[in-house]
Amino acid sequence: MKALWRIFRLILREQPAALGRGAALSFIVLAMGFALLSLSGWFITAAAAAGLAGMGAVFDVFRPSAMVRFLALGRAAARYGERVLTHEATLRALEVLRVRLLGGLLQTSYPRMIRIRGAQALNRLTADIDALDGVSLRLVLPIMAGLGAQAVAFIAIWALVGLPIAAWILVGYVGGAGLIFWQTTRKTARLSRRAEAAAQAFRSRLIDLIRARRDLAVQGRLMAQADVTRAADDRGLMMRLQQDRIERLAGAAFQMLGVLVAGGTLWIGISLVQAGDIAPAFAALGFFAALALAETVAPLRRAASDLGRMAEAARRVSRDIAVPVTAPAATADSAAAGSLDVAAVTLLRPGSTLKVVEDVTFSVAPGETVALTGPSGSGKSTLLLAAAGLHPIESGEIYLGDRPVGAWNEAGLRNQVGLLPQRSVLMAGTVADALRLSAPQSDDASLWQLLDAVALRQTLEARDGLSTLIGPRGDGLSGGEARRLTLARVLLRRPKILLLDEPTEGLDEATAQAVLSGVRKVLPEAAILIAAHREIETSFADRTVSFT
Q: Are 489 and 474 in contact (CB under 8 A)?
A: no
Judged on CB neighbours under 10 Å (0-12, 13-18, 19+), 350 is middle
* 497/543 Cα distance (integer angstroms): 16
Task: Please tell me the predicted confidence (pLDDT) of residue 111.
Answer: 67
- On whether the CB atoms of residues 243 and 305 are closer than 8 A, the answer is yes
Q: 329 in a domain, yes or no?
A: no
Q: Are residues 91 and 13 in the same domain?
A: yes
Burial class (CB within 10 angstroms; exposed 0-12, middle 13-18, buried 19+) of 462? exposed
Q: d(Cα 368, Cα 341) in Å, to the nearest integer?
A: 12
Tell me what pLDDT residue 336 has.
63
Asked if 379 and 466 sit in the same domain, the reply is: yes
Cα separation, 183 vs 448, whole angstroms = 66
* 427 contacts 485 by C-beta, under 8 angstroms: no
Q: Show which of 321, 354, 383 is a domain's final residue.
A: 321
pLDDT below 50 — which residues of the chain? 324-334
∠ CA 365-371-376, rounded to 5°: 145
Amino acid in position 311: A
Per-residue pLDDT, 127: 75
Domain count, the chain: 2
The answer on 293 and 402 residing in a single domain is no
CA distance 474 to 506: 15
Distance CA 423, CA 105 (A): 19
| Spatial separation of the C-alpha atoms in residues 345 and 365, rounded to whole Å | 18
Regarding whether 243 and 179 lie in a shared domain, the answer is yes
Do 12 and 114 reside in the same domain of the chain? yes
DSSP letters of 378-406?
A: SSHHHHHHHHTT-S--SEEEEEETTEEGG
Count CB-CB contacts under 10 A for residue 182: 10
- Give the DSSP letter of residue 372: E
Cα 295 off chain centre by: 32
How many Cβ atoms sit within 10 Å of the Cβ of residue 190?
12
Contact 317, 203 (CB under 8 A): no
Q: Is residue 39 situated within a structural domain?
A: yes
- The alpha helices in 437-478, defined as continuous H runs, are 444-453, 457-461
Q: Are both 200 and 128 inside the same structural domain?
A: yes
Digit-coded pLDDT (tens) for 488-512:
999 988 889 999 988 888 788 888 8
Domain finish residue from 286, 321, 356: 321
Residue 236 lies in a domain: yes
Q: What is the Cα 208 distance to its own chain's centre?
A: 22
Do both 315 and 348 map to the same domain?
no
Q: Give the pLDDT confidence score for residue 52 in this predicted structure.
A: 64
Q: Are residues 269 and 380 in the same domain?
A: no
Q: H or E element: which one contains 434?
A: helix 431-436
28: left (phi over 0), alpha (psi -120 to 50) or beta: alpha
Residues 310 and 415 in one domain: no
- Look at residues 59, 35, 31 and name the one whose alpha carbon lies nearest to residue 45: 59
Give the C-alpha separation, 498 to 379, whole Å.
18
Backbone angles phi, psi at 161, to 5 degrees: -110, -55
CA geometry: angle 208, 473, 459, nearest 5 deg: 135
Q: Which residues contact 375 (CB under 8 A, 6 or more apart)?
A: 547
Nearest CA to 531 out of 396, 376, 404, 393 is that of 376
Question: Are 9 and 318 spatial neighbours (Cβ–Cβ below 8 Å)?
Answer: no
pLDDT digits (tens, 9 = 90+) for 56-79: 555 677 788 888 888 889 888 888
| Domain containing residue 355: CATH number | 3.40.50.300
Q: Is residue 14 assigned to a domain?
A: yes
Residues 389-423 as b/e (b if ≥16 CB within 10 A, e otherwise) read bbbebeebebbbbeebbebbeeebbbbbbbbbbee
Task: Clarify whether residues 378 and 427 are in a common domain.
Answer: yes
Based on the domain organization, do 227 and 189 belong to the same domain? Answer: yes
Report which of 530, 63, 481, 40 is spatially closest to residue 285, judged by C-alpha positions: 40
Of the candidates 268, 291, 321, which is a domain's last residue? 321
Distance CA 328, CA 35 (A): 57
Q: Alpha-carbon torsion 99, 100, 106, 111, what sign?
A: negative
Classify residue 326: in a domain, yes or no: no
CB 200 within 8 A of CB 127: yes
**CATH label of the domain that carries residue 83:** 1.20.1560.10
The dihedral built from the CA positions of residue 507, 511, 517 and 522, taken in this order, carries a sign that is: negative
Q: How far apart are CA 460 and CA 449, in angstroms?
A: 13
Whether 344 and 255 map to the same domain: the answer is no
Q: How far apart are CA 324 and CA 327, in angstroms?
A: 10
Do 268 and 157 form a contact (C-beta atoms < 8 A)? no
Burial class (CB in 10 A: 0-12, 13-18, 19+), 48: middle
User: Directed axis angle between helix 222-274 and helix 300-321, to 10°?
Assistant: 130
Three-state SS at 501: strand
Q: Which own/partner contact pairs does 166-171 have at CB distance under 8 Å and 24+ positions apart? A: 166/286, 168/261, 168/264, 168/265, 168/268, 169/261, 169/265, 169/286, 169/289, 169/290, 169/293
Query: Does some domain include residue 147?
Result: yes
* Domain of 148, in residue numbers: 2-321
Q: Is 291 domain-assigned?
A: yes
